[in-house]
């Protein structure tokens, strides 16, 4: 039996005392990030926002096996923010994920609704011809299953509620999401709510495709609502680095509704994402200091080379910067 077939569905239970330390650290780190951000000027703050949303767009797509072009995504995100950009051609997939994440950024405080979820799905699936329901919950009569194949033998990792139950389940989910928000009747701690929202939504699996990307967006919306501002954390970037652990954590928690293990996994992932964001901000600050020290000392070729190296971010070039790449 799957979790949605249990008598206690959807009343998830967990051991809150095991999450207390994570919740306290999240709150502390959030204050730290807020303070560090004050050291960025407007130009660098915009650059950070575009970079983080670009990373999320790339990585949340890679988790699902879609590999997109970073420059195209950045161009699309800048266009959606009304910023200056090039006129490069952007694919529907790149445009769709960019639109969804920019919309998440600007509308995080608004309630989550059926209409908003349908809108996000329409953005993600724009141009698709292989889906029956675009911008709408699934209606197909066949079971919605998560399946993998090992040596041509299918393995069912999860089966979601039948399509006929989706609207009822989503009504309950959206009510729960509002009531557990900071302005709701039963507010939950930030990490607990965001982690539970992700698992809850994924287990309903209301769309034909795109559930993972929308589920991770819901988690970020939840965290942003608790912070009162866009969370801007590299959640998908961290998940993508250990994708197998992510899918294993989901699978280990889809047959019971006691989800302490899942919430511990999710909390650690969010804290790691916060640390990555902090390192990115520190990187931008140090980069600015370096250019200030070298002002009027670099020739155009030197400035171009250094700027290109910085574009790779804190991790630098994969495998190092070769002489051939430097010449190019």
Asked whether the predicted pLDDT for residue 281 surpasses 90, the reply is: no
pLDDT of residue 311: 82
Angle at 43 between CA 29 and CA 26, to 5 degrees: 10
Architecture, CATH, for domain 3-311: Orthogonal Bundle (1.10)
CB neighbour class for 315 (10 Å; exposed up to 12, middle 13-18, buried from 19): exposed
Strand partners, 155: 148
* Domain spans in the chain, listed from the N-terminal domain onward: 3-311
42 three-class SS: helix
Residues above pLDDT 90, as percent of the chain: 76
pLDDT of residue 325: 78
Mean pLDDT of 68-93: 91
Q: Which of the four pLDDT bands, split at 50, 70 and 90, describes residue 36?
A: confident
196-211, pLDDT tens digit by residue? 999 999 999 999 999 9
What whole-number distance in Å separates Cα of residue 235 and Cα of residue 60?
9
Asked whether the predicted pLDDT for residue 158 surpasses 90, the reply is: yes
84-142, pLDDT tens digit by residue? 888 788 999 999 999 999 999 999 999 999 999 999 999 999 889 999 999 999 999 99
Residues above pLDDT 70, as percent of the chain: 100
pLDDT of residue 236: 95
* 89-98, 251-260, 288-297, 304-313: least confidently modelled range: 304-313
Q: Measured between alpha carbons, how far is residue 144 from residues 1, 5, 96, 131, 161 in Å?
A: 15, 14, 24, 13, 7
What global pTM score does this model have?
A: 0.92
268 three-class SS: helix
Residue showing tokens 């929308």: 214
What whole-number distance in Å separates Cα of residue 83 and Cα of residue 101?
16
pLDDT of residue 85: 85
Asked whether the predicted pLDDT for residue 149 surpasses 80, the reply is: no
Asked whether the predicted pLDDT for residue 313 surpasses 90, the reply is: no
Q: Which of the four pLDDT bands, split at 50, 70 and 90, describes residue 153?
A: confident
Asked whether the predicted pLDDT for residue 257 surpasses 90, the reply is: yes
Residue 232 CA, distance from chain mean position: 9
150 three-class SS: strand
Q: Is 198 in contact with 219 (CB distance < 8 Å)? A: yes
Return mean pLDDT, the chain: 94
Largest CA distance in the chain: 71
Q: Is 280 in contact with 48 (CB distance < 8 Å)? A: yes
118 three-class SS: helix
* Phi, psi angles (nearest 5°) of residue 108: -60, -35
pLDDT of residue 97: 97
């Amino acid at each position: 039996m799957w979790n949605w077939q249990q008598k206690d569905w959807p009343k998830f239970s967990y051991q809150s005392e095991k999450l207390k330390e994570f919740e306290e650290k999240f709150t502390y780190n959030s204050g730290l990030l807020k303070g560090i951000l004050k050291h960025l000027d407007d130009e660098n703050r915009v650059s950070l926002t575009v970079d983080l949303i670009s990373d999320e767009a790339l990585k949340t797509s890679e988790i699902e096996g879609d590999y997109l072009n970073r420059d195209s995504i950045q161009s699309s995100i800048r266009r959606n923010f009304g910023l200056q950009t090039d006129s490069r051609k952007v694919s529907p997939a790149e445009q769709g994920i960019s639109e969804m994440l920019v919309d998440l950024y600007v509308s995080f405080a608004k309630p989550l609704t059926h209409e908003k979820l349908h809108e996000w799905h329409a953005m993600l699936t724009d141009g698709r011809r292989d889906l029956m329901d675009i911008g709408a919950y699934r209606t197909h009569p066949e079971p919605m299953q998560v399946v993998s194949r090992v040596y041509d033998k299918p393995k069912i990792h999860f089966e979601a509620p039948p399509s006929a139950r989706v609207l009822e389940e989503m009504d309950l989910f959206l009510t729960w999401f509002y009531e557990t928000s900071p302005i709701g009747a039963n507010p939950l701690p930030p990490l607990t709510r965001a982690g539970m929202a992700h698992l809850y939504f994924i287990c309903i699996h209301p769309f034909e495709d795109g559930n993972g990307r929308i589920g991770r967006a819901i988690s970020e919306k939840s965290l942003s609502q608790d912070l009162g501002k866009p969370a801007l954390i590299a959640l998908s970037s961290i998940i993508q680095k250990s994708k197998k652990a992510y899918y294993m954590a989901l699978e280990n928690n889809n047959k019971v509704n006691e989800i302490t293990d899942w919430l511990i996994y999710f909390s650690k992932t969010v804290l790691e994402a916060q640390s990555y964001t902090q390192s990115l901000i520190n990187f931008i600050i140090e980069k600015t200091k370096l250019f200030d020290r070298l002002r009027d000392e670099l020739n155009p070729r030197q400035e171009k080379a250094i700027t290109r190296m910085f574009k790779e971010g804190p991790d630098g070039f994969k495998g190092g910067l070769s002489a051939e790449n430097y010449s190019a």
